[in-house]
Amino acid sequence: MPNWEKLAAAKADWARQGRLLTGRSADPATERLPPGQELTGGWPVLDLGNQPVIVPRDWSLTVGGMVRKALRWSYADLGRQRQSTPVTDIHCVTGWSRYDNRWQGVAGTDLLAAVQPRAEARFVIIKGFDGYTTCLPVEDLRRDGVLLATHWEGAPLTRAHGGPVRLLVPHLYLWKSAKWLRQLWFTDTDVKGTWEARGYHRRGDPWREERYGSSGR
């Protein structure tokens, strides 16, 4: 069995077992560490195990679907957009959180302003160059700290962490933050991605412990 299938099977088991669930939700305004999480100083690497080699010259992002202005940005195009430098915590569904990450890139709000999603676009399907997919409500792209990230702690994002460009959605579990970002596709339907199809939650809010499958959707 390839390694990623072992990981997928293990993580599907965790979803069935409800691993790490405390049964408690928390208010991000008063509790910095979401329920069931542990603080880490390092930055673990988690992915399907086939980290694509993409040099900035070969990277581009396509954005399409239900938008008024579909676009394709090269790495240089991305660098010409307004740059944002949020500092965010990150939270992985496997149980670790890391505080105070300094990022640089293009804010989700600036991307939305450029593509102008149509009113019927309610979700965005996100694809990575390794074949990974995930899906989010469009309004989650408007939140503070959401970024097409090119830099972390003042240096270009490493390949292991999704360089040259990854998505960052810091208010949701990190599986929504696709590495080696390739495409954003706006749609009217919620589509299950790599982990959502294996028992993980459609939205993934750490303070609500939305680790695993949501009911009624």
Binding interface with Mo ion (CB under 5 A): 46, 92, 175
Is residue 46 involved in binding ligand MTE (CB under 6 A)? yes
Is residue 132 involved in binding ligand MTE (CB under 6 A)? yes
Long-range CB contact pairs, 116-119, < 8 A, 24+: 116/67, 116/68, 116/69, 117/66, 117/67, 117/68, 117/186, 118/66, 118/67, 118/68, 118/186
Is residue 161 involved in binding ligand MTE (CB under 6 A)? yes
Asked whether the beta carbons of 207 and 31 are under 8 A apart, the reply is yes
Q: Work out how close the CB of 120 gets to ligand MTE at its nearest, in angstroms, rounded to a whole number.
A: 27
Q: How many other CB atoms sit within 10 Å of the CB of residue 21?
A: 13
Is residue 180 involved in binding ligand MTE (CB under 6 A)? yes
The residue among 27 and 38 lying less far from ligand MTE, judged by its C-beta, is 38
**Interface with ligand MTE by CB under 6 A: which range of 33-41, 117-125, 135-143, 174-182?**
174-182
Residue 97 CA to residue 41 CA, distance in Å, equals 9
Is residue 47 involved in binding ligand MTE (CB under 6 A)? yes
- List residues binding ligand MTE (CB under 6 A): 43-48, 92, 128, 130, 132, 161-162, 174-175, 177-180
